[in-house]
Structure 1
């Protein structure tokens, strides 16, 4: 049995982390799977059959230049790990693990290096010196990977156009979604008063997720007997709580925090809302579809359009009423407010989206994705 190492920052609460763990579990009957992390942060339940190691305690908040200078040392350590454990295939997630995996080749690592990109890097990185250096590293190193996985067409297009990565090296493989598990967990009881119409969102409370825009749009919509549930933790929580009070909706906005079972909340909600400025293929939208939820999402680069559209739809008043959900222009608070009013008042549209949601979710069902990965890795 070939040895596969899945390499990622941590198993914290992000979509890429969840996808990495799902793959580790789904591929363990075909590969001897190990997980390599930077941090001993494991928020998801890890089966006893899956082993993980810490490459190096990585300070995510340290000086950016210091983090860049440390990359060769981490690559040296990773090369030694792969040699010592006779790793056949390295599958890394996100930019720094990707860079370290490729750099490890310069330290004699003979492992097949497959990297997976779960963002749109040209949008994600800014113009600061460390970010400029990192973008230049992506441009020079990514083509040296043996294979590259893009989680969406938008991600693939970004790598080709912005980083000159040969299109022939890139394959689009979606994240696996355990729909059966989601539906089972969705039936569990949660202690919350779900009276009224429930809008719900889920994700890290950081600037790029744009939860502030959701709160302002919710306040502006001023719909009777409605609640906005916010699942997740992050550095912006305190400022978001202050914002909800400032715009007068603190009695209707509920900060639930991180939960192992967001699906039990989604199952009781009426509409999933998503305000992100930047994604690749947001797993949480597919999970919301699995819970038969109508969705309102910003049309950010990239992913929401690929998940919700199906075919081309045109914007009207900042809104695109697509096949599997409503898309709004990026960071258009008024359009998002209008979309919330539309889904609140239009019962026929809600029922249409609830029916279509479960159909669309099956396109990302884990068994199909695992088979795609097995064929690709072999």
Structure 2
């Protein structure tokens, strides 16, 4: 039996947080101990097993001047982790920048930083609050520890930023097929009286809801469009829908901790992003036998979907045509999720890090 510590800001949302719960569930199912250390006591996501979580009281340390904070917090967090677990963990997996900034200086052995998105895109995104110097700070963080990238595209992007870093590899995000299928069998929280397309994602610029809405309006699709999620650009998207006179065809469904019944009921899923890490919603849709079309953005969609299901990122006309095609002939776009993404396969790869 091995002991694994997962460090993450909180367990809110369906991105990296959902991925780490899936990994923790599978580790526990295989007989290992898994502890999740969060900085906030927010836990909105369901899991198969009773997860052991610990909340590190980050807010109590904000009085430390910023120039010393990360170094001091590293020492404090290392002690917190070992005290909560009762020993030094066999493997430590840090996720997302708030955790990575601290854990990059950790003295705990076998600590890895997991990169969940295309960093060069994320820090040049017009909606980010980053400054030009931020990407240099991020590079400095990730050069200090072994790094795991969630797709080959994310790995190639990081290698361009850190060409001399020799401890960079990719391990895909795990997909819990049984959990997704059982969750999808629960009642659909929204009563849809007609067939629909679906998009699942936070309303932020990377997801390009504006591109999706314009292409959908051009497509003459006979299906309605359901948008699952929330975020800062939701109101802007609602305004665009109204301006294009398609308010009666677009449904804003809000955030759902369990979106799987809504996904399972869809005729097809459409993604329109400028960039992704891996695009887990594609894999989740494939598990539920829902066809997916997507922009061929970095990174992820092109590692999952065949060319028939992809369109150039900046080609709204082609996306509109693809939306019509998948609406009227969805079976032409159906594929099976590759086994290499299953939680059993991915968990073995993570456990393999312990013996290196």
TM-score greater than 0.5 by the shorter chain:
yes
Could you tell me which of 255, 258, 281 is aligned with 2:255?
258
In structure 1, the residue matched to 2:206 is 208
SS at match of 2:299: coil
Could you tell me which of 294, 299, 315 is aligned with 1:302?
299
In structure 2, the residue matched to 1:149 is 148
User: What do residues 232-291 of structure 1 show as CA deviations (whole Å, max 9, x unaligned)?
Assistant: 111222222222112111111111111132121122111100111111111111001111
Please, which moves more after superposition, 127-136 or 332-341? 127-136
Please, which moves more after superposition, 148-157 or 69-78? 69-78
In structure 2, the residue matched to 1:23 is 23
- The answer to whether the 8 A contact 2:14-2:257 is kept is no
What TM-score comes out, normalization by structure 2 length? 0.88
Aligned residues: CA RMSD: 2.6
In structure 2, the residue matched to 1:181 is 179
Give 1:304 deviation, angstroms.
0.6
Matches of 2:129 and 2:268, distance apart in 1: 41
SS at match of 1:144: coil
Give 1:117 deviation, angstroms.
0.9
- Pairs within 5 Å for 1:29-178: 29-46=30-47, 49-57=50-58, 70-84=69-83, 85-88=86-89, 89-104=91-106, 109-126=107-124, 131-145=131-145, 147-166=146-165, 168-178=166-176
Give 1:165 deviation, angstroms.
4.7
TM superposition outliers: structure 1 runs of 4+ over 4 Å: 66-70, 127-131
Please, which moves more after superposition, 50-59 or 71-80? 50-59
SS at match of 2:143: helix
The question of 1:11 aligning with 2:8 is answered no
The question of 1:239 aligning with 2:231 is answered no
- The answer to whether the 8 A contact 2:229-2:254 is kept is yes
User: What do residues 309-359 of structure 1 show as CA deviations (whole Å, max 9, x unaligned)?
Assistant: 3xxxxxxxxxx42xxxx21211432221111122233x2xx22432x2xx2
- The answer to whether the 8 A contact 2:6-2:36 is kept is yes
Give 1:53 deviation, angstroms.
2.1
Query: Relative contact order (C-alpha < 8 Å, sep 6+): which is higher?
Result: 2
The question of 1:351 aligning with 2:328 is answered no
In structure 2, the residue matched to 1:317 is none
- The answer to whether the 8 A contact 1:289-1:361 is kept is no
- Pairs within 5 Å for 1:264-283: 264-283=261-280
User: What do residues 119-168 of structure 1 show as CA deviations (whole Å, max 9, x unaligned)?
Assistant: 111111139995444422333342321x32111111111111122252x4
Q: Which runs of 5 or more residues in structure 2 are unaligned?
A: none
What TM-score comes out, normalization by structure 1 length? 0.83
Matches of 1:221 and 1:289, distance apart in 2: 23
Matches of 2:10 and 2:196, distance apart in 1: 32
Q: 1:112 to 1:362 in 2, by over 3 A?
A: closer
Give 1:360 deviation, angstroms.
2.4
- The answer to whether the 8 A contact 1:120-1:280 is kept is yes
Give 1:52 deviation, angstroms.
1.6
Give 1:48 deviation, angstroms.
6.6
SS at match of 1:27: helix
Give 1:228 deviation, angstroms.
0.4
